[in-house]
Every structure is written in C-alpha cells, then in structure tokens.
Chain A
C-alpha cells in the first residue's frame, strides 16, 4: 500500500522561530490534508491542498503532486502551535479514505 512519511518526527523550537514540515507519499493521490492534533486529541483542519500553495495567517502549505510531496510552513511559532502535525492523503482510485502519515511532534518553548 501507499507509504506516507513525515519528517522530522520530532521538532523543538523557540517561540518566534520558523519551521518546515515535510510529507512524502509513494503513490499518486487525489487529495491531501494537513491537520494539527492539539494536546486534547482534537484533529484540527489546517489545509485541504491536493496541489498548489495556500496560506492562512502564519501557516502556509505547498503540494507538488507530480513529485509526491507536500510542505507545511510555520512562521513566528507560538506555544499554542505545539502538538502533532499530520498529513493525510487519498490514493487515486482508492475511494475517499484518508491514509495518514506518522506525524511530526512539535514543541514550541518560550
């Protein structure tokens, strides 16, 4: 089946720093979503981005489907950005079920 790999697995930042999280996938996809799982376990939608670039405040994302990767940029990080970031993809021809990556655990310190 499809492999969805995220890097780095863990990341510690000082407040105010910028970071880039990466999601690589091994097969053709029709959909890609980025989520933030907060400390209470809730999955919060960040981006629905099967291709192209989107921005939302301090966050932006880029997906290059032909090269099978997506990037999530966090600028001017805040302690509330802490948590786990997941990318999830829908495989072409695989229905609409999401296959999740293993996540990036982010901790932002003062």
Chain B
C-alpha cells in the first residue's frame, strides 16, 4: 500500500516568511509524528498526535512552530517568521497507534532552506 507522503519535497523561503509543510500518513494509522533532521542537531522529535488526544508538543523548539491534524488524517506543520536555523529536513512518520508501542514508518521528508 501507499506509504507516508509529504509535500512539498523542497521549499526555499526567505527569512521572516511563514511556511506550511504537509504530511499524509499511511491509511489506517492513527498516530502521526513530526521530526526534523539538521546537521547540528541530528534527528529530533517535534510533536505527535494520537487519535483525539491532546498532541505531545514537547519537542517544538519555539512558539513559532505549530501543527494541526484535521480529521484524524492529514497534518500540517507551520513555521512562522522563519529563521535560518530552521533550515532542515522535516520528516513525518505514522504508526498504527502510539500505545503499546507500534513501529513508525517515515515519509521522504521536506527539505526546507531559509535564505
């Protein structure tokens, strides 16, 4: 079946602009996660959603970052007033549920470059 999809694959934006990144999880997966991969920080967790529960936002680096998940499926990660340090690859993952602990599957990522 189809895997996790993300769009756009690449995004170049000017410092100070807002960006939206989209993730479409595997059909039937109720848990959705956002991570980012940067040269200085490696792979780090940002936020995750499980069904109708409140999202775990503990990894968001600042209040410029937010995410929502509509209808329990597609998710959008929004970065406001982008900074150069936001340049990274943003990865989305999904799993069947988040408890007990199900395997996570990753999308191809969105490469964000802030100029």
Contact = CB atoms under 8 A, between A and B. Distances in A.
A40 B10 CA distance: 13
Given A41-B89, A41-B108, A42-B108, A100 B100 contact: no
A99 B33 CA distance: 12
5 contacts: A35-B106, A45-B105, A96-B48, A96-B101, A98-B104
Given A41-B108, A42-B108, A97 B45 contact: yes
Interface of A: 30-31, 33, 35, 40-43, 45, 48, 50, 86, 88, 90, 95-100, 102-103
A42 B98 contact: no
Contacts of A42: 106, 108-109
Contacts of B105: 45
B101 A30 contact: yes
Interface in B95-111: 95, 98-106, 108-109, 111
Closest 8 A/B residue pairs (Cβ)? A96-B98, A100-B43, A31-B101, A43-B106, A48-B103, A97-B45, A30-B101, A95-B56
The A interface is mostly helix, strand or loop, or mixed, namely: strand
Interface residues of B, number: 29
A100 B106 CA distance: 13
B44 interface: yes
A62 B102 CA distance: 18
